[in-house]
Every structure is written in structure tokens, then in C-alpha cells.
Amino acid sequence: MSADDATADPGADAAADSSGEGGAAETNPYTLQRGDGEGGADDHHVFWADAVADRVETRIERRIESGERDPDDPIVIKGGISPSGVPHLGNVNELMRGYFVAAVLRERGHEVRQVFTADDRDPLRKLPRTLADLDGNLVDLGEVNAGALGRNLGHPYTDIPDPFGCCDSYGDHFATIIAQSADAMDIPIDLLSNTALYEDGTFEAVTRYLLEHRDRAREVLSDYQDSVDADGDYVPFNPICANCGKLTETVTSVDVDSEARSASNSRAGSEATRETTTAATVDYECTDLEAGEQTIEGCGHEGTATLREGKLPWRFEWPAQWEALDVDFEPFGKDHAEGSWPSGEDIARTVLENEPPVPMVYEWFTLDGEPFSSSEGNVALVSEVLELIEPEVLRYFFAKDPSKARDFSIERLDQLVDEFDRFERIYFGEIDASEDEKRFAERVYPLVVSEPDPDRIRLSYTFAAVLGMTEEPSIREEIARTEGHIPDDAPEWAVDAALDRVEHAQAWARRTGNEFDYELKRAAIPAHDFDDATGAALDDLADFVADGGDDPEELQGEIYETAKRHDVPVGDFFAAGYRLFFDDEQGPKLGQFLAKLDRDFVVDRLRRER
């Protein structure tokens, strides 16, 4: 990883890169995009998670061989976010990318534990403009007690009261939403509270170690952060002020019993060698905290804190989590790739003398072409999205190449669903596809859908949206059947499951207000203004229906005939029908639809009587 290598001759470089001994290839978070050059053609996987799993296996095999790892220990995959506000769809990367790697490793016979940290000891730095309640409703800051929140700037999330009053704390509230999201997508995770890990002592040994070796810690970090002076007095610990409850950065002295650990060069079993007997403490002064534009004022209190009463700065906290939780793999967003990953890797190796996990960068995606932003209102909660599409469709989205920036388009969700449906049909061999598509579908589909069943039925998403025009389940089913979307011999469970999509698609049509957003106006007749010929034609059609015309095909044909008889352009006549029944210019295939409604209503409406 040394930059000095750049001047070496190219041949030597190539040899070094492919040596595969825990060097560059494995810890480069971008290796997915490059291939790791280890085995040529055989190494190429159609699914990125297989390539990652290879690297995780290489890591654990090497560590078992060198005695640094117990073969019976489960593989640990971690993700984590700060519960600072609405956890949006982008945060699902942290869950799903890890999940796919976990699933592949389980398939290969490994025991895998997927942990997820709520980094909830982080301080609230600014007030989010938008919050969310536990039912998935977005709530404006003005609707909660913003003043109470404002007084808690600088406090750890877990020390701030829940603005909704339903959870133990602000942090707990948003961590609960994360847990709900994971559950809704059927991702089994161990959700860990960072605060709890500090309080129960999980981080104590590594924190103490970092304080004992704060000279080295400072020196390493200074390579990455200009604000840290290698010879200065930076201390990698932020105590919580006992007086005002804010996190503070000013540590005035450190008291650790350095005799408690002697064998710092023994790398085996980090926790084992980092047992402590005497409580370590730091003295601090509660000074101002710079948070972006604004300053959070300190109270000036001078006090003493134990190592459980504060937190490590992020650049150290991350590698500390790897060590304390024995993390083998962690995906992270591209914002970390050139910042905290290189420093974290260096801190793990140079300061903690521990091997960092296998890394993987994922690209961010946008929502309808714009970056996620809770302040701009451009957010989508997982629960919201799952009202529009099935979980498997969302899981499919995250099975795609993580290195590509993508747009999650709610406007064009039908495209994503169509793509998923095609993916599914390719898996079941129902349609022809390229070899690449087949290989991808065969590999990935079973990881996306928990119980593949060739008898399942998928209504096309846009057709399902069309069926959303009526709330009547029997009409939905009949139309789907007569239009040939449901086979006669379909089992009942498959029919029910297929029709469930109507609820999703209907919610989508309503949310976007697109061309599929129409509903039968049963209660009252929409405003209308027809010329005499159209009126007469409608009366004529009403008579046809009143006389028993309820065959879908015949009725559809009769609409054309009636229009012709009265010299009304066919398009205009259909438009009249859509106006009367949907208050719209367009709608579903009218004959088939009217044939399903109760006759008296149709006749009266055609006569403009109700």
C-alpha cells in the first residue's frame, strides 16, 4: 500500500499485487472493480458477493493458520449507521450488501453473524428538518418539540429524549426504525447499540489501549488529518461532561495503569491481552464544540470520566469496533473510501496491531435523480418503498453491482419491477436470455427470493396498477382472468399473492399521480359536457347494456359500433366513457371493465342519471 512503490519497475509492482498474502489486493476497497488477479478466468464471478466471499475466506483461512482465529468462531459481518434521523433507502446498503455476502458464506457452510451497530453515542450536531414516527410517517421538525431537541445539541443520541415519546431515547427511536426496516426486508441482524457497548465495557480494553498508546495513535492519525499535530496533545477520547451532558474534546490528562498490560506485542486474542484491573480515567474541561458552521457551547466544567463515560472519535471508533466485535467484512459508502478507511486500516494495523476486515465500497444512489436529503425532503423510508413494491424487488435492486451509481426512481418504479419479473422468468427458464443474464439469475435469484416457486404468478406492475381502479377484489380477479393474466388452473394461494401486487401498484399510481392513477367514481357522477350526438350514443349504449349486453368482447365491440352509428369519433366516445366512470381522459379497456360492474349502475351512469 506504500506510495513509494510507484517508482519501482512495473514488473515488480504486478508481482507484488498478485502475491495475495494479505497485501494490497485484499484491503483495497475497490478490488471488486479490478479483479484481484489471483486466478485468472476461474475467479470471475457473475455475482459480486461471491468475489467478496472469496476474499473473506482467504482472510479467515490465513488467520486460522497463524493461530489468530479459532476455527469455530463465526464469521462476523458488520454494518452501521448513526441514528441521527430518518434512516432512508440509501442506508439499506449497509444492511443488504452485508446480507448478500453473509448469505453466500452461509451457503458455503460457514456460520455467519451479521451485526449492525447503531452508532448512537455520536452527538447530535444539528437539528434534522424531517423526522419520522415509528409508523413510517415523515414528520416536520416543527411538529415536535424542537426547542427540547435544540437544548440537546452536543449530547449523545441515547441521552436525548425521544421527541415522539415512544422510545427510551432519540437514538433508540431511530434505531428502532432501522430494526423494523431490516425485519421488513427479512434480514436477520444483531442490532447493537454503541452506547451499550461503551457502558458494558466491550470497548473498554481497546479504549484503554489507545489511550496508553496515544502517542502512536496521534502520529498515525496526523498522516490523515492536518488538524492533528503528530507532536501535539491530541487525545483519542471524547468524555461526556458530567455537568451538562455534552461530549467534549478537551482532555487535559490521562490516567491509565500502564503496568496492567505488558504483552502489547502479542497479537493473539486482542481482548485476552487487554484485560484491565484498574479503572482508567481522563480529566477534561468542557469546552466549545465546533459542529460545521455552528459552535455548540461547552459549560466550562472540569471533571473526570471513566472510559465508559465517553466515546472514541470516529476514526478510532471504527477500528475499535472491528477489534472488539471481531469483524471480518464490512461494506461502506464511497464517502469512507478515501477518508476513514485508509486511516482506519492504518490505525488497525499500526496502532492496534490487528488486521482490518475485508472492505468493500458501495456507490451511492439517488432518489428520482436527486441526492437523498432529509432537509430537501428527498427521502424515502424503507417502509414507504415497501408499500410500493414487494421486498424481493427491493432486495433485487441491492443485488446489483455496488460499484455503479444508480438512480432509484419512484416515478419509474415499473421499470425496476419489470426488470425483476424478467429476472425471475429467466431463473425459471420461461423466457430466453443471454448467457450472462441466465448465469446471473441462476446465481442470485435464490438469494433474493426465499422460497422460489415456479407456480407463482406475477401480474405486470402497470396492469396491476390498472386493476387498482376498483377496490372490489372479485372484479380485480375477474378482469385479470379474462385478460389472460391468471391461468384457469392457478392455485388459490398464487392468485391471492398475484393480486397483492395490486395494492402496491395502486399506491404507486396514487403517489406519482401517473397515467395509471384512476379510480372508479362510483359515489357521484363527474362533471361532464357532451354534445347531442355523444349523449344520444351514450343512451344507445345504455340500452344495449340494459338489454343484457354483458359479454366483455361484445360490449367492447358495441362501443365501437355505437360510436360509428352516431358519427362520434371512436376516440371521443371512449373519452366520454372515461369521463363518466373515471373523471379522466383515459382508462382501462372499457368494454371488459363495464361488463364486470353491476348492470343497473352502468346503465344509470351511461344515462347520466347518477
**Residue 277 near residue 260 (C-beta atoms within 8 A):** yes
Q: CB 581 → RNA: shortest distance, Å?
A: 11
Nearest of 87, 148, 159 to residue 116 by alpha carbon: 87
From 588, 594, 597, 603, residue interacting with RNA (rule: CB under 7 A)? 588
Query: What is the contact mask toward RNA in residues 261 to 290, using x (rule: CB under 7 A)?
Result: -----------------------------x
Rounded-to-10 torsion of CA 405, 411, 412, 417: 100
Binding of RNA at residue 337 (CB under 7 A)? Answer: yes
How far is Cα 266 from Cα 479, in angstroms, rounded to an integer?
72
Binding of RNA at residue 446 (CB under 7 A)? Answer: no
**Residue 227 near residue 234 (C-beta atoms within 8 A):** no
Residues from 339 through 398 that contact RNA (CB under 7 A): 339-340, 363-364, 369, 371
Residues from 57 through 86 that contact RNA (CB under 7 A): 80-82
> Pairing relation of β-strands 190-193 and 75-81?
unpaired
Phi, then psi, of 76 in degrees rounded to 5: -110, 125
Identify the H or E element spanning 52: helix 48-65
| CA dist 532 → 99, 574, 600 (Å) | 64, 16, 23
From 23, 473, 491, 571, residue interacting with RNA (rule: CB under 7 A)? 571
Identify the H or E element spanning 137: none
Q: Give the count of alpha carbons within 13 A of 462, CB side only.
A: 12
Q: How many residues bind RNA (CB under 7 A)?
A: 83
Phi, then psi, of 172 in degrees rounded to 5: -65, -35
Task: At 9, list the grid cell.
Answer: 519497475
> Pairing relation of β-strands 310-311 and 238-239?
antiparallel
Binding of RNA at residue 570 (CB under 7 A)? Answer: yes
In the three-class reduction of DSSP (H, G, I as helix; E, B as strand; rest coil), residue 56 is classed as helix
Q: CB 184 → RNA: shortest distance, Å?
A: 22
Q: CB 335 → RNA: shortest distance, Å?
A: 4
Binding segment for RNA among 137-145, 348-356, 445-453, 575-583 (CB under 7 A)? 575-583
| CA dist 577 → 445, 596, 606 (Å) | 43, 15, 8
For RNA, which is the closer residue by CB, 30 or 257?
30
From 8, 44, 65, 302, residue interacting with RNA (rule: CB under 7 A)? 44
Q: CB 277 → RNA: shortest distance, Å?
A: 29
Query: What is the contact mask toward RNA in residues 157 to 196, using x (rule: CB under 7 A)?
Result: ----------------------------------------
Q: CB 529 → RNA: shortest distance, Å?
A: 17
Binding of RNA at residue 40 (CB under 7 A)? Answer: yes
Binding segment for RNA among 106-114, 142-150, 162-170, 560-568 (CB under 7 A)? 560-568
Binding segment for RNA among 56-64, 133-141, 197-205, 330-338 (CB under 7 A)? 330-338
For RNA, which is the closer residue by CB, 276 or 580?
580
From 388, 449, 587, 602, residue interacting with RNA (rule: CB under 7 A)? 587
Residues from 106 through 125 that contact RNA (CB under 7 A): 119, 122, 125
For RNA, which is the closer residue by CB, 370 or 453?
370
From 168, 295, 560, 598, residue interacting with RNA (rule: CB under 7 A)? 560
**Residue 56 near residue 101 (C-beta atoms within 8 A):** yes
Residues from 505 through 544 that contact RNA (CB under 7 A): none
Binding of RNA at residue 216 (CB under 7 A)? Answer: no
From 252, 258, 278, 586, residue interacting with RNA (rule: CB under 7 A)? 586
* Lookup result for grid cell 459480486: 48
For RNA, which is the closer residue by CB, 46 or 144?
46
Q: CB 120 → RNA: shortest distance, Å?
A: 9
Residues 6+ positions from 217 with CB-CB distance below 8 Å: 210, 236, 316, 347, 351
Instruction: Give residue 282's identity as a one-letter amino acid code.
Output: V
Residues from 399 through 428 that contact RNA (CB under 7 A): 400-401, 403-407, 409, 412, 414-416, 418-419, 422
Nearest of 165, 169, 129 to residue 152 by alpha carbon: 169
For RNA, which is the closer residue by CB, 20 or 339?
339
Binding of RNA at residue 475 (CB under 7 A)? Answer: no
Q: CB 580 → RNA: shortest distance, Å?
A: 12
Phi, then psi, of 431 in degrees rounded to 5: -135, 160
How far is Cα 233 from Cα 215, in angstroms, rounded to an integer?
9
What number of other Cβ atoms are within 10 A of residue 476's Cβ? 22
Beta bridge partners of 406: 365
Structural Rg of the chain based on CA atoms:
31
**Residue 508 near residue 588 (C-beta atoms within 8 A):** no
For RNA, which is the closer residue by CB, 229 or 453?
229
Angle at which helices 532-546 and 599-606 cross, to 10°: 160
Binding segment for RNA among 31-39, 62-70, 538-546, 594-602 (CB under 7 A)? 31-39
Binding of RNA at residue 567 (CB under 7 A)? Answer: no
Binding of RNA at residue 35 (CB under 7 A)? Answer: yes
Query: What is the contact mask toward RNA in residues 423 to 442, using x (rule: CB under 7 A)?
Result: ----------xx-xx--x--
From 575, 580, 595, 602, residue interacting with RNA (rule: CB under 7 A)? 575
Binding of RNA at residue 547 (CB under 7 A)? Answer: no
Residues 6+ positions from 262 with CB-CB distance below 8 Å: none
Instruction: Give residue 46's identity as a one-letter amino acid code.
Output: V
How far is Cα 101 from Cα 357, in angstroms, rounded to an integer?
13
Binding of RNA at residue 232 (CB under 7 A)? Answer: no
From 11, 71, 292, 548, residue interacting with RNA (rule: CB under 7 A)? 292
Binding of RNA at residue 95 (CB under 7 A)? Answer: no
Report the sign of the C-alpha dihedral through residues 28, 29, 30, 31, in that order. Answer: positive
Query: What is the contact mask toward RNA in residues 482 to 501, using x (rule: CB under 7 A)?
Result: -xxx----------------
